[in-house]
Amino acid sequence: MVGHGGPIRALAISPDGDSLLSGSFDTRVIRWSLKTETAEQVLRYHADGVNAVVFLKDGRMITAGADARVAVWTASRPEPDRVLEGHVAPIAALAVSPDGTLLASASWDRTVRLWSLSEGTSRVLEGHTQNVNGVAFLPDGRLVSVGYDLALRIWRLPDGQPDIVTLPAPLNAVAVAPDGEIVTGAVDGRLRMLTTDGKVSGELAASPTPVVALAMSADGALIAAAGIGGTVAIIDRKSRNLLRTLVGPGLPVWAVAFLADRETLMTGGADGRIRRWNARTGDPIGSSLIGTPADPLAAYAGDHGADVFRACVACHTLSDKEVQRAGPTLAGLYGRKIASLPGYRFSDALKTMDIVWTPETVARLFEIGPNAYTPGTKMPEQRIGSAEDRRALTEFLARATSR
């Protein structure tokens, strides 16, 4: 399914199994018919990329994104029924409580908010010390949140007190099985399973690159774990075995969702296309694979700086002739003031900063991390500990981004 003008960041399946909701970096949300694979409605409200979408049991839709707003929609209405505001940084994930009365939102402002869907009121759950990247409800109504601070928090509601589990790597995603088992996806490419009381019960390697999205089949039998490198691992949850790896066109996969048949998987990625797969056989369904793009760094084989930059390919191009990815192009980077590239929506916080990109400022960015150097950025937190690697990267950017 093709319709978005940028990377797809979120997918959700309607309760009746007939519709798919997709949110994109292009700021739009599309409601698709899964029977005809055509767009039934385009929702335009958000001022920045849409990172999270969910359906409610009554068919209403909820969307949220980098503009820190939550919008509640009724199908076929052109404007949101309600807008929920309170977060002060991008919203990364949404979850609806088992009884359908509460919405949880995870944000890079280091908080989780609980919203009453009947009244629109909210409460703030604080404690995470870095970006909160995922939320999910347990069957008993408790809430799980995960963040870049290595912490998994299990919040007891309504008192809002958490049990805290510290895991070995920063966490990007969380999913909960029907029996309550918790599954986390981390930047080290590993999945870790935990019991409902927070004890680690299993672990496996799912991807050589960070896991950025998780989905669970309705019966809890299968887990889909999407890696930033473009592959999706299909895991048998009970046996902890990797059944197969889906290999698409080589671009990051940001979103995954199982259909009600428990075997068909939908994926959305950096090329703005939605693909359909048989998760058990690994076969694409229909015209899911539309060419395989060349390695964007093939011309720099053997260049150490290019190897360091490979982690950045998911979000940035080196040339302004390429299709925009999640972040701004780096073409003409050196000498450019931060947040000044025309045509890209930068965080408001960046627009007030007095930074000019040079080898020194880029090196500093990765030495202390984006959160410390450019507070308020939408850029995922990452550091390069080696001074040699930072120098190789900045020298490579000088060669590769000059106009």
- In DSSP terms, 30 is beta-bridged to 22, 42
User: pLDDT tens for residues 84-114?
Assistant: 999 999 999 999 999 999 999 999 999 999 9
Pairing assessment for the beta strands 132-137 and 200-205 based on DSSP bridges: unpaired
Q: How confident is the model at residue 56, as a pLDDT?
A: 97
Q: How confident is the model at residue 87, as a pLDDT?
A: 97
What's the rounded Cα separation, in Å, for the pair 289 and 171? 30
Mean pLDDT of 71-80: 92
DSSP three-state, residue 361 = helix
* pTM for this prediction: 0.76
Mean pLDDT of 12-31: 94
Q: Are 345 and 328 in contact (CB under 8 A)?
A: no
Residue 287 has pLDDT above 70, yes or no: no
What's the rounded Cα separation, in Å, for the pair 91 and 87? 7
Q: Which of 123-137, 213-227, 300-314, 332-346 has the lowest mean pLDDT?
A: 300-314
Q: How confident is the model at residue 74, as a pLDDT?
A: 94
User: pLDDT tens for residues 142-188?
Assistant: 999 999 999 999 999 888 899 999 999 999 999 999 999 999 999 99
Ranges assigned E (strand) in 167-311: 171-176, 182-186, 190-194, 200-205, 211-216, 222-227, 231-236, 241-247, 253-258, 264-269, 274-278, 284-285
Q: What average pLDDT does the structure give for the chain? A: 91
Q: How confident is the model at residue 320, as a pLDDT?
A: 85
Q: Which of 110-114, 273-277, 318-322 has the lowest mean pLDDT?
A: 318-322
Residue 382 has pLDDT above 90, yes or no: no
Residue 42 has pLDDT above 50, yes or no: yes
| Whole-number Cα distances in Å, 221 to 6, 35, 66, 240, 280 | 32, 25, 32, 10, 11
Q: Are 44 and 30 in contact (CB under 8 A)?
A: no
What's the rounded Cα separation, in Å, for the pair 334 and 361? 10
User: pLDDT tens for residues 323-342?
Assistant: 666 678 999 999 999 999 98
Q: What percent of the chain has pLDDT over 90?
A: 70
User: pLDDT tens for residues 200-258?
Assistant: 999 999 999 999 999 999 999 999 999 988 899 999 999 999 999 998 767 789 999 99
Residue 292 has pLDDT above 50, yes or no: no
